[in-house]
Amino acid sequence: MKRLALSLGLVVLALIWFGPLLGSWRESFAAHMLAHMGVIAIAAPLIAIGLPSRWQFGPTMPAALPVLASVMELFAVWTWHAPVMRAAAEASLLATVAEQATFLGVGVLLWSSSLAASGERRHAAAGAGALLLTSIHMTLLGALLALSPRSLYGIGEVTCFGTVLDSGQDQQLGGTIMLFVGAVVYLVGGLSLVSRLLAAPPTAATHSHDEGNSAAL
């Protein structure tokens, strides 16, 4: 299972990084957003699941790490979608490499820390909170881009998926992709951790605490 997840994650990365999304369609914001979502919402969780056990987080992982990783991803995503940074990534291969490496790094860190099977309820709670926080900021940015009355990225026409779009349509499509891929994937991930947390039996420490309270009563 781990090998399959890792292999699928690497295949997704190869299709994104060496395909038309960052090649012949690189000037399209919608193509960029599809590449972005593919990296952080599809490839990153698959790679996080498929990492060898020695590279995965264990019981000693700080409980706050998933939330910190979520904040790092928020900073990375909003920074790289500033118009000046988007223009740099379109114009420079080096900037594109830095952008994609940042997305992959923070994505794998967030997913691997959030999904860490540590057996600690506080870790599960932190992971759920981190993924839900990420879903919220993805939803906000996607909505802002899709509903913006003016184009923030370019003024001309672009070709994406074989279709010619003006800059406004291209941005709206990109924002919609973020809403229906990024926001939804992180929401589902967060809710799955919440359900796991609610279904988990109380820890021994919790039993001892409850028994102590009962004895005192």
pLDDT value, residue 202: 60
Q: d(Cα 28, Cα 14) in Å, to the nearest integer?
A: 19
pLDDT value, residue 204: 46
Encode pLDDT of 51-103 as tens digits: 887 777 877 788 889 999 999 999 999 999 999 999 999 889 999 999 999 99
Task: Please calculate the CA angle 27-96-181 and round it to the nearest 5 degrees.
Answer: 70
Query: What DSSP state is assigned to residue 55?
Result: G
State the CB neighbour count (10 A cutoff) for residue 10.
14
Q: d(Cα 119, Cα 117) in Å, to the nearest integer?
A: 6
Two structure tokens written together for 64? 């706050």
pLDDT at position 207 over 50: no
Query: What DSSP state is assigned to residue 24?
Result: T
pLDDT value, residue 17: 95
Q: d(Cα 100, Cα 43) in Å, to the nearest integer?
A: 12
pLDDT at position 201 over 80: no
pLDDT value, residue 10: 96
Q: d(Cα 103, Cα 114) in Å, to the nearest integer?
A: 16
Output the average pLDDT for the chain: 86
